[in-house]
Structure formats: structure tokens, C-alpha cells
Chains A and B, each alone.
Chain A
Amino acid sequence: SQTIHQWPATLVQPVGSPLSLECTVEGTSNPNLYWYRQAAGRGLQLLFYSVGIGQISSEVPQNLSASRPQDRQFILSSKKLLLSDSGFYLCAWSRDTTDTQYFGPGTRLTVL
């Protein structure tokens, strides 16, 4: 069966510090991968998605970036965090871009 991991589970970072969140999927190959953010009291915001290694599509201009160095690894990064980057970050995978997405447990990021 397939599983999706995210780490860390929680993170508190100062403004201006770098960020690296990691997501890995097990039990499947060539998945579509997604990064979402949930800000307090708001819905899901798609940040990035990837249909293959090195293929990243950005949905929202921001100071975040994503990379996919391996087939089942998806990384969300920032060089300098802003207060507005605080939120709950979710990674998801799917077999097809219009099919069921399966979510990881999420990372709670607080920028102070």
C-alpha cells in the first residue's frame, strides 16, 4: 500500500530564516505531487504541483519554491520566511492530475 510522509510535524522559525519541508511517498512510482497551504481560517491553497522529476508548476507567486529531486520526494523551500508564510502545509500525491489526492499528515509552520 501507499504511504505519504511529511516532516517535520511542527516548526517554529524566525522571520528571515530559511525553510525546508520534505515530503516522500512510498509504494508507488511516478506520482503527481502537490504542496498546499492552509492559513488560519482559510481553505486549501495549491502552491505547487509536479508531474515528474524536475517538473514543477507554480500556482501562486510567493517567496516559496519547490523541487523534486527524486521520483517520490517533494521539497518545499524558502530562502527568507515572512510572517505571512505561517500556516499548515500539506503534501499530497495522486496517480492522475484529476483523480483522488492522498494527503500527508501536514506540517504546522509558525513564523515569529
Chain B
Amino acid sequence: AQSVTQLGSHVSVSEGALVLLRCNYSSSVPPYLFWYVQYPNQGLQLLLKYTSAATLVKGINGFEAEFKKSETSFHLTKPSAHMSDAAEYFCAVSDKSNYQLIWGAGTKLIIKP
């Protein structure tokens, strides 16, 4: 079965700085990989999704993620952080063995002015 690890429960960056949120999955290649964002007291919103069409995936709000099979990673990046990016971010992978999405524990992104 798949597993997902998000390194860092909290990540703090300055406004305008690079955002890097890390996600690693277990070794078997999943069909799909996802990043979601959750603002306080709201549901989750899809940021982007990897479907094997291209290793670099562009999403909403200027975010992108790169699938690296050799590193079993799907890290989320944004070149320049905005205050509005402060939220919790979740990585998820699909697991065909039990027909579900497997979720990471989430990373809270804190933006310093």
C-alpha cells in the first residue's frame, strides 16, 4: 500500500521568498499525485494533480510541483510567497490496492511580512 510523508508540519517563509513544501511517497509509482490547499475553517481545494502526462505540473495561484520518480518525491514550489498563501497544504497519492487516496499529515505554511 502507498504511504505519504510530508516533511515539516510547519514551514515559515518571508513574503517574496521561495516556497518549498516537501512530499515523498512510497516506492511503487502511483497513478496520480495531488496537492490540496486548505484555508482556515474551509474545505480542501485542489491545487494541482500529476497524471503522468508531464513531470512538471502547474497549478493554481502560481504553484507548481515536479514528479521525480528516482527520488519518489512530488515537492510543491512557488517562486515568490504572498501573504495570501498562508494555509495548510496536503499531499495525496492514489492507491489502486485499496482504491483510495492516501493523505499526508499536512504542512502549515506561515508567511512572515
By a beta-carbon cutoff of 8 Å, the part of chain A in contact with chain B is 42-44, 46, 49, 88, 90, 92, 97-106, 108
Contact = CB atoms under 8 A, between A and B. Distances in A.
Nearest to B96: A98
Contacts of A98: 31-32, 94-96, 99-101
Q: Give the top 5 A-B pairs by smallest Cβ distance, nearest first.
A: A103-B43, A98-B94, A97-B99, A43-B105, A103-B44
Query: Which one of A102, A103, A104, A108 has the highest number of Cβ atoms from chain B below 10 Å of its Cβ?
Result: A103
B34 interface: yes
Contacts, number: 48
Given A104-B43, A108-B41, A43 B103 contact: yes
Interface of B: 31-32, 34, 36, 41-46, 49, 90, 94-96, 99-101, 103-106
14 contacts: A43-B103, A43-B106, A44-B90, A44-B106, A98-B100, A99-B32, A99-B94, A100-B46, A100-B49, A101-B44, A101-B101, A103-B43, A103-B45, A104-B43
